[in-house]
Structure 1
Amino acid sequence: DIYTSKHRKEIVEQVDRRSKIKDTETLFFAWAGSTEPGKGHYYRIQTKDWLFEYDCTQNGANHVHSVWRDFDGDFGRDLLAEHHKAHHGEAGFKAMFDGKTLKGWTANESKDSFYVKDGAIVSNGQPRSHLFYTGDKKPFKNFEFRGEVLTHPHANAGIYFHTKYQDSGWPKYGFEAQVCNTYHDPKKTGSIYAVVNVDIAPVLDDEWFDYSIRVEGKRAVIKINDKVTVDYTEPAGAQPGKQFTRKLDEGTFALQAHDARSIVLFRNLRVKRL
């Protein structure tokens, strides 16, 4: 009662045995299943680099719709996104956060304003504090930073770059890449705070979004979900400010815990030197 549909006949036996397909120079999708009620189907998507196996409990006329329903939505999107992040376009990136502890990070005013939950750094300014990246002592000059961010309603935070550790106060050195969707500050997510401001938040609260910061020489580019929000070139002869320098130089990174009402999550933080 076993039957198989496939792209190439020579892989039928290998799929039925659930063994690795030997020739995977191209992408294969195959399925094998039983006609007996309740036994369902076995699906495989495989390339030369990775293998995904999936069991569907439905059979009969609705089994294809069942698989499509499972893959069409958050499950399929998240599965492919995780694979893409793990295997494509990440060469040279170094993880900054292990997903479990704050190792490699140092809070200044209040350690209690940052903690790890469900694989994310939670920022909640009770009281205000900043979490500086101290996992690499060599300053970052030209780099690309990538991370994922989620804001709760009415939350404010930031990702500082080219900054330096300080014991208290708003960081004097470097720039703040703004995180602010529905907080009352008019400078919204994707801004370089007080340098190039975004007036309308490009994303919503309670949804994870990608945050990218790339600095090369005197140019800084911010992307939210791979869309450019700021493309800034520092003018020739620019001088550092007295209260906040806001000048491209070198330094480290810091996450902001802005105030008691602001809850922001950060995860999958990584950086590549350029």
Structure 2
Amino acid sequence: MQRQPNEERIMTRRMVWMGLIGAVILSTGGLLSAADEAGFVPLFDGESLKGWHKAGGGATYRVEEGCIVGEVGPGDNTFLCTDKVYGDFILKLELKLDVPGNSGIQFRSHKRERDGRVYGYQCEIDPSPRAWSGGVYDEARRGWLYPLTSDEAAQRAFRVDGWNEYVIEAIGPRIRTWVNGVPCADFLDAMDIEGLIALQVHSGKEGRIRWRNIRIRDLGKHIWTPIWDGETLDGWHILPGGTWAIEEGAIVGRSPASEPRHGLLVTDREFDDFVVRVEYLASRGNSGLYFRAEESGDEVGIHGFQAEIDPERDAGGLYETAGRAWVVQPSPEDVQKWYKPGVWNEMVVCAQGRDVAVFVNGHKSAELKDDPGRTRGKIALQLHGGMEMDVRFRRVEVLLPGPRPGA
């Protein structure tokens, strides 16, 4: 039977649509990958080192067959650094070890003024039997932040003899990494919120590594924002007892031993996910930085989490008032590692979802993962009742998202 022209057109359209559907089915991964790549821009043009500069030792970097090739040379660790600074971002790249050797990808990193030494967060490239590729190390500063000690899946992810895809995500205080799609690091740390990206060649006898397809999605950056204006107590309110005053650029809290009530200086607003940073000088008595707390109306005045402030012990521990009491109580030996008596100290509290991390002078003093405690509440400074109190606070600020590029 001879088909009519209209029938032929219908059959042709059906064949076209069937072909398109087949193409979609066969290439779903590619289509998903294309969607995942939205907003990414290349950091490496495949032909030159434009936008990058070298720092540190004598390793060499060259462009070869669309890759950046780094090779061990004399001297210290060497870094190929971006000219541009990045804050919040997702970084993707592929890498391969031609000659196995230790390496890493720096991010939110900096160069020391006196000698140009690169320091900061490093996502590890580790072909050794230890197999910590994807863990995070603080280069030339604090050492290991997230080793892969007991994560067997992450340890198996890296291919010593082939190409590897790395993903590094840094948004506010949360840092996450993946190697070949396997989750590796996931932790909170707000020591640096922006900095350089760099490709490291570790010092040693041998090592050659190549990187390609380096691209980034720039998500802007978070900004430290004061919640104390330095002059008044606007935005805060006082719960008795004790007294609060502003002296020489600091909030000063005092209370006599005869006062049974806890004195509190409380924010008017509540916070859920946040990072708060304060500098404090504890001269006498027990104090604390409350967060995700609620006013209670009793003698204590407030219920919730407290990061411990004390001139002698427990600094940086976590206590839950009207709850579990001590959640994390550090040992005296640990406190000596991070607390400096008689001088100003810095405390940072990161709270994201049900994860909490406390830092004193950059050292992690307490950490909770998937904790059942409160997820929203106020920030407060405490004067403990029943003891002689003298404590000072300055530079009280929170980390908030800034505008995104193109917004």
**Structure 1 and Structure 2 fold alike (TM over 0.5):** yes
Are residue 158 (structure 1) and residue 104 (structure 2) matched? yes
Q: Rg larger in 1 or in 2?
A: 2
Q: Deviations over 1:108-131 (max 9, x none)?
A: 246761111111111112134210
Distance 2:24 2:11 in 1: 15
Contact 1:124–1:258 at 8 Å: present in 2 too? Answer: no
Matches within 5 A, 1:1-274: 9-11=11-13, 27-29=20-22, 45=23, 85=33, 87-109=34-56, 113-127=60-74, 128-134=77-83, 136=84, 139-165=85-111, 170-172=117-119, 174-182=120-128, 186=130, 188-193=132-137, 194-199=144-149, 200-234=155-189, 247-259=191-203, 260-274=205-219
Asked if structure 2 preserves the Cα contact closer than 8 Å seen for 1:220 and 1:233, the reply is yes
TM-score with structure 2 setting the length = 0.43
The size of the alignment, in residue pairs, is 195
Query: 2-side partners of 1:103 and 1:111: how far apart?
Result: 19
Contact 2:134–2:177 at 8 Å: present in 1 too?
yes
Distance 1:133 1:82 in 2: 29
Q: Is the 8 A contact 1:144 1:215 kept in 2?
A: yes
Confirm or deny: 8 A CA contact 1:124 1:262 kept in the other structure: yes
Which amino acid in the other structure matches residue 38 of structure 2? A
CA deviation after TM superposition for structure 1 residue 209, in Å: 1.4
Amino acid at match of 2:159: L
Give the secondary structure class of the aligned counterpart of 2:194: coil
Aligned counterparts of 1:180 and 1:102: Cα–Cα separation in 2: 25
Q: Deviations over 1:70-127 (max 9, x none)?
A: xxxxxx9xx9877764x32111111100111111110124676111111111111213
The change in CA–CA distance for 1:219 and 1:112 in structure 2 (over 3 A counts) is closer
Aligned-partner Cα distance in 1 for 2:162–2:63 = 18
| Unmatched 5+ stretches in structure 1 | 1-7, 16-20, 30-44, 48-75, 239-246
Structure 1 distance, partners of 2:198, 2:86, is: 12
* Higher-RCO chain (CA-CA 8 Å, sequence separation at least 6): 1
Instruction: Please give the secondary structure, in 2, of the residue aligned with 1:195.
Output: strand
Give me the TM-score of the superposition, normalised by structure 1: 0.62
AA matched with 1:269: I
Q: Is the 8 A contact 1:93 1:271 kept in 2?
A: yes
* Aligned CA distance change for structure 1 residues 202 and 95 (closer, same or farther; 3 Å): same
Alpha carbon RMSD of aligned pairs, Å? 3.1
Give the C-alpha shift of residue 201 in structure 1: 4.8
The SS at the match of 1:189 is coil
**Identity, % of aligned positions:** 24
Find the aligned partners of 1:111 and 1:103 in 2 and give their Cα distance: 19
Q: Give the secondary structure class of the aligned counterpart of 2:36.
A: coil
Task: Show structure 2 runs of 5+ residues with no match.
Answer: 1-9, 138-143, 150-154, 220-407
Over 3 Å counting, the alpha-carbon distance change for 1:82 and 1:102 in structure 2 is farther
Distance 1:93 1:129 in 2: 27
How far apart are the structure 2 equivalents of 1:99 and 1:142? 24
Give CA deviations for 1:142-166 in whole Å, capped at 9, x if unaligned. Answer: 1111111112353111100111245
